[in-house]
Amino acid sequence: MQIEKYKIDSLNSDLAASHTKKLDFIKSEIDGIEAIISKLINFQIAIPSWALGTGGTRFGRFPGGGEPRSLEEKIEDVGLLHALNQSSGAISLHIPWDIPQNHQAIRTLATQHGLKFDAVNSNTFQDQKDQEHTYKFGSLQNVNKAIRKQAIEHNIKVIKQGIELGSESLTVWLSDGSCFPGQLNFRQAYQNTLESLQEIYAAMPSNWKMFLEYKAFEPNFYSTTVGDWGMSYSYVQKLGEKAFTLVDLGHHLPNANIEQIVALLLMEGKLGGFHFNDSKYGDDDLTAGAIKPYQLFLIFSELVDGMDARGMNHATDLGWMIDASHNVKDPLEDLLQSVEGIMTAYAQALLVDRKALKIAQDENDVVRCQEILQDAFRTDVRAIVAEARLRAGGALNPLQVFRNLRVREHLIGERGSLTVATGL
């Protein structure tokens, strides 16, 4: 299914009067709206190929029908999102769930939908059918050299797939660790992992980046070998200038100060990218901005401040990806909400009066500091975000268009109600 532009335009015109009123109001209140709109138009968030189907937990899965059955249909789904919001112009593939058969045809299809290929993701947290050795006791950390070699070779294959697609980064997330005290020699696990990563790093083209993602726990429940940002930082420092830490918002211990982590990684030039989601308890993979929108804003506030301090391009110098799962929502509707949540937090962060904040900080005026941040956070920026979408050719209200045009019903009609997408 493809959404015709005239249908979006027609629904936009129904909302035009009300939108203009809101936009005029915020323009009268705040200076510099045009600069914010152009930054929002440039900002693109990659959609993970594994988030287009219904997610499950270890207790069950309740698919809603019309899920993409192939990589082509996954690209089509991201194309639908991008047609609606013009902010989802990239797809992040997972190997082996999405191995392209014909790279040129896949590239052409993506281009037709206005999509690029963002980071490719390797998978050594599961055993595949044709695999010789098991990853039950880890992959890059494994005490068995043959198992490490198998995992290294898989990552190198993923890089080769990515090169064919025009991707320029590899995300490595390892479930390696241990479940019980004494199971693992921590230093040996670290050294094995480092040496394995060095071999993978050496196989990357010079214009590529490696993103090393960390996670505190799960599936291992005693130790994780890349368990927090300090461990990831220690590896990427040793690997070299093409290696960076990737922050997944759900991968921290409860109440971790993620905005401070982001600020320091940026300062050290070692923040590579993001996996957006939200959580209440652990790695819940909920819709970005659904539970802790203030935290998301504070993270973006540090991102904007830190990137500006280093003269970085907000849109292109870090990898922006969603990593979420949807147990009870339509995956496409959920992704539209996530992108909206991210764009809203980014727009609010762009409103922060940095000069006033610096003065208040230098004067230890704690009350004023809080007021400045909360002024920005409590500003209703929805008309600004909608205006950016409108100018880029998207919908003023993407969710309304999705429902009005009965997109899911069309997809079920095309693909059937029993389809199951590969992924989590």
Identify which of residues 274 and 402 has a Cβ nearer to Mn ion in the complex: 274
Is there binding between residue 209 and Mn ion (CB under 5 A)?
no
Is there binding between residue 278 and Mn ion (CB under 5 A)?
no
Is there binding between residue 275 and Mn ion (CB under 5 A)?
yes
Is there binding between residue 323 and Mn ion (CB under 5 A)?
yes
Is there binding between residue 77 and Mn ion (CB under 5 A)?
no
CA distance 42 to 388: 9
Is there binding between residue 154 and Mn ion (CB under 5 A)?
no
N residues, the chain: 424
Q: Please state, in angstroms and as integers, the Cα–Cα distance from residue 86 to each residue in 1, 48, 285, following that order.
A: 17, 16, 23
Identify which of residues 57 and 112 has a Cβ nearer to Mn ion in the complex: 57
Is there binding between residue 118 and Mn ion (CB under 5 A)?
no
CA distance 229 to 253: 11
CA distance 202 to 200: 5
Identify which of residues 176 and 323 has a Cβ nearer to Mn ion in the complex: 323
Beta carbon of residue 33, minimum distance to Mn ion (angstroms, whole number) = 33
| Candidate ranges 226-234, 316-324, 359-367, 376-384; the one touching Mn ion (CB under 5 A) | 316-324
Beta carbon of residue 293, minimum distance to Mn ion (angstroms, whole number) = 20
Identify which of residues 48 and 66 has a Cβ nearer to Mn ion in the complex: 48
Beta carbon of residue 248, minimum distance to Mn ion (angstroms, whole number) = 4
Best CA proximity match to 25, nearest among 396, 374, 394, 379 = 379
What phi and psi values does residue 108 have, to the nearest 5 degrees? -65, -45
How many residues interact with Mn ion (rule CB under 5 A)? 3
Beta carbon of residue 323, minimum distance to Mn ion (angstroms, whole number) = 4
What phi and psi values does residue 335 have, to the nearest 5 degrees? -65, -35
Beta carbon of residue 262, minimum distance to Mn ion (angstroms, whole number) = 15
Beta carbon of residue 195, minimum distance to Mn ion (angstroms, whole number) = 24
The one among 76, 248, 285, 330 contacting Mn ion by CB under 5 A:
248
CB 78, CB 113: distance < 8 Å: yes
Is there binding between residue 94 and Mn ion (CB under 5 A)?
no
Is there binding between residue 215 and Mn ion (CB under 5 A)?
no
Q: Please state, in angstroms and as integers, the Cα–Cα distance from residue 339 to each residue in 63, 119, 290, 324, 370, following that order.
A: 22, 18, 11, 11, 26
Identify which of residues 323 and 330 has a Cβ nearer to Mn ion in the complex: 323
Write the single-letter amino acid at 394.
G
Q: Give the distance, in angstroms, between the CA of residue 366 and the centroid of all CA atoms in the same chain.
A: 33
Say what angle helices 103-112 and 71-85 make with each other, to 10 degrees.
20
Is there binding between residue 333 and Mn ion (CB under 5 A)?
no
Binding residues (CB under 5 A) for Mn ion: these are 248, 275, 323
